[in-house]
Amino acid sequence: MKRILSRIAIGTALLTAAPFAMVSGAAAQDATMNSLAVPLNTEAATASHAAFTPNPDPNAAPSARPAAGPEKTTLAAASRPVSGKNPSAGPQFVKSGSTWNVVSPDVVLQNTVTDADGNKSTLTFEVWTTNADGTPKAQVNVNDNNAYGVIVSEFVPSGGLAKVSVPYGKLKLGVTYTFHTSGFNGSLYETTWSPWANFKINPYVTFPAPQASSTIDPVAQKETEFSRSNPGASLARDADGTQNCPRSIRRGASCASG
């Protein structure tokens, strides 16, 4: 009898403890999954918006900030791409003095690139604000997808024109900026940057200045006489409103009575 009671007591104790053990296990599993989910979401957010690191030296070697891809130093003896000497900004790609006059908030930057071996190359476009004398002051982040804040063009044939569009809102109206480019042929970077090119987004809609005074008197009135011709008998009406038609019309076709 004692053995039976002992077994019953043990069974009751197990049933009482089991639900707590199951709940604890489920809670621990949920906690583990939640702890794993945080870094995954954080990693995705970091990948879509890289932290921008401004370039402290506008004259640093392009390979020091390899936005277009890693350089293959084993091919150092091969030819390197070379940027064109006349980078430009538009639309309309027209200069006002030494500054490119951009007439749209959708800025396009462009330059040519050449590779002695005939390889296709990209151009990296780096934009800076300027000092009063037009020299580079601070780098502008024109691309949130890489830590260098630059835009890399598509590959173009040797001697071709590479161009990029600056995302809307990255540049301000009426501010003078400057940019330069560096080439990359998939293996090697250009050793130096291209010449600088200044540009400014000017208002693309202008209005005349308001008048300080007006010669028009808003109170004065002027009478103007005008005359009108006699409508003639054909348009006259009798007292009852019936149109008074000439006899020639009465004998023939009907006379319209509007």
Least confident range from 52-66, 188-202, 217-231: namely 217-231
Average pLDDT for 224-228: 75
The third-level CATH classification (topology) of the domain covering 62-201 is Immunoglobulin-like (2.60.40)
**pLDDT for 142:** 98
pLDDT tens string 182-218:
999 999 999 999 999 999 999 766 667 777 777 777 7
**pLDDT for 151:** 98
74 vs 256: CA distance, rounded Å: 100
244 vs 232: CA distance, rounded Å: 10
Write down the domain spans for the chain: 1-39, 62-201
Average pLDDT for 132-159: 96
Contact criterion met (CB below 8 Å) for 107 and 168: no
Contact criterion met (CB below 8 Å) for 114 and 81: yes
**pLDDT for 47:** 42
- Beta strand pairing call for 197-201 and 176-184: antiparallel
Contact criterion met (CB below 8 Å) for 254 and 242: no
Using H for helix, E for strand and C for coil, what is the string for 67-82?
Answer: CCCCCCHHHCCCCCEE
Q: What is the DSSP string of 234-256?
A: GG-B-TTS-B---HHHHHSS---
Q: State the chain's mean pLDDT as an integer.
A: 79
Contact criterion met (CB below 8 Å) for 149 and 175: no
Which of 138, 233, 128 lies closest to 177, judged by CA? 128
Name the β-bridge partners of 96.
99
Using H for helix, E for strand and C for coil, what is the string for 76-130?
Answer: CCCCCEEECCCCEEECCCEEECCEEEECCCCCEEEEEEEECCCCCEEEEEEEEEE
Would you say residue 243 has pLDDT above 70? no
Would you say residue 27 has pLDDT above 90? no
Would you say residue 230 has pLDDT above 80? no
186 vs 188: CA distance, rounded Å: 6
142 vs 88: CA distance, rounded Å: 17
Would you say residue 34 has pLDDT above 70? no
Q: Give the largest CA-CA distance in the chain.
A: 140
Which of 199, 60, 79 lies closest to 124, judged by CA? 60
- Joined together, the tokens standing for residue 9 give 């007591």
pLDDT tens string 84-133:
999 999 999 999 999 999 999 999 999 999 999 999 999 999 999 999 99
